Structure 1
Amino acid sequence: MFYFLIIGFLIAALKGNNPITTLQHIEFRASYLLFIGLGIQIALAYYTAATGESLPYVLEAAFIVLVLSLMINRGKPGIKLVLAGCSLNLAALLFNGGKMPVSYKALQIADLEHLSDYSSASRHQHMDSQHIQWLGDWIPFFTPIGTNYVLSPGDLVIGAGLIIYIVRITKWRVTVI
């Protein structure tokens, strides 16, 4: 998602807006829910890396908290797309036992084959025999600095929403003295 944020900031800057100073003016209701959902995902990744144990229902709960936060803020520009993408990712998790299916072929194309061992993954599994595979991670995403990814359709929808959000909320802030 980092790259989608960067793209949003670049587009805003090319339009003559000042995206950096706008960050201090973001108004997101119940933002603590957003931070809780993201925090749970980060903590779960560290927990799984340290113990090798996966807690899929915790990941699903984190996504539910994120969806709730986004529903509260759905009137903001781009947030309906972020909500739709997050909901697609949640559906993929729910239909696949709490883990996101990932295409091995997409990992190969993105030169990420080394990530195909999911024995200690907190949120990913092989796509081979999973349900609703089109919701999983199967889209190779290449970056100019070589940090490639494999994304889901939900990730792309989230990215589009984030770009719209950043571009639409950024503007020159003029302080009148």
Structure 2
Amino acid sequence: MILVGALAAAVLLGLLQGGSLFRLGELRFRLGPLALGALAIQVLVIARSRATRLDAALLLISFATLLVFALANLRLSGLPLLAAGLLLNLAAMAANGGFMPVTPQALEYAADLGSRVPGSKDIVLERHQIRLYYLTDILVLRRLPLPTAFSVGDVLIAAGLLILVPRAMRQRSSAPQ
């Protein structure tokens, strides 16, 4: 949820700064199809809302693939932050069986321990069960239409998007610096 909001805010910021969606479409990434495939995998796994080993493995593979994509595009403004966020999220998820842990308290509603949070990559665990706790979804926004928990990695990814997208929308070249 937080990353969708960050992307929407980045596009709005780009438009307010006189940018163009057309210019955003001209942005050229290295390994772009790889990233699209990784995102498609995430959408499928998130839509399934199951906590199987296959789903966990697919999420880890998709995050690792997105990290490779980000590293291949470090020349673009914002991508170093985005890559750092992906690395932190990948580490937290790998340390916790492939899903991003979130406590029931962070979600602000009761959920069954070990269950997936529908429509997310999260799994509900008690604090003592979580490895790399401070890299997991421990930050909470309560004032959105839907309260959301997110990680430090998500903040870095959002910051990267807020740099990359508006610059790409303003620049005439395909490589915002």
Q: Give the TM-score normalised by structure 1.
A: 0.82
Measured against aligned partners, the alpha-carbon deviations of 1:83-128 in whole angstroms (never above 9, x if no partner) come to 10011000001111212110222211xxxx15x3343556423142
1:18-167 aligned within 5 A: 18-49=19-50, 53-55=52-54, 56-108=56-108, 113=109, 116-117=111-112, 118-120=114-116, 123-128=122-127, 129-142=129-142, 144=144, 146-167=145-166
Equivalent residue pairs, number? 164
Change (3 A) 1:23 1:142: farther
Deviation above 4 Å: which 4+ runs of structure 1?
120-123
CA contact (8 A) 2:10 2:166 kept: yes
For structure 1, which segment, 92-101 or 81-90, has the greater mean C-alpha deviation from structure 2 after superposition?
Answer: 92-101
Q: In the aligned structure 2, how far is the partner of 1:57 from the partner of 1:172?
A: 38
Distance 1:127 1:100, change over 3 A: farther
Q: Which residue of 2 aligns with 1:13?
A: 15
Residues 101 and 136 of structure 1 are in contact (CA less than 8 Å); yes or no, is this contact kept in structure 2?
yes
User: 1:43 aligns to what SS in structure 2?
Assistant: helix
Find the aligned partners of 1:95 and 1:62 in 2 and give their Cα distance.
16
| TM-superposed deviation, 1:172 | 6.8
Structure 1 unaligned regions, length at least 5: none
Question: Who wins on radius of gyration, i.e. which is larger?
Answer: 1
Deviation at 1:165, TM superposition (A): 0.3
Q: Which runs of 5+ in 2 are unaligned?
A: 173-177
| Cα RMSD after superposing both structures | 2.1
Identify the residue that residue 169 of structure 2 maps to in structure 1: 170
How far off its partner does 1:130 sit?
1.1
Task: Tell me the amino acid that sits aligned with residue 131 of structure 1.
Answer: R
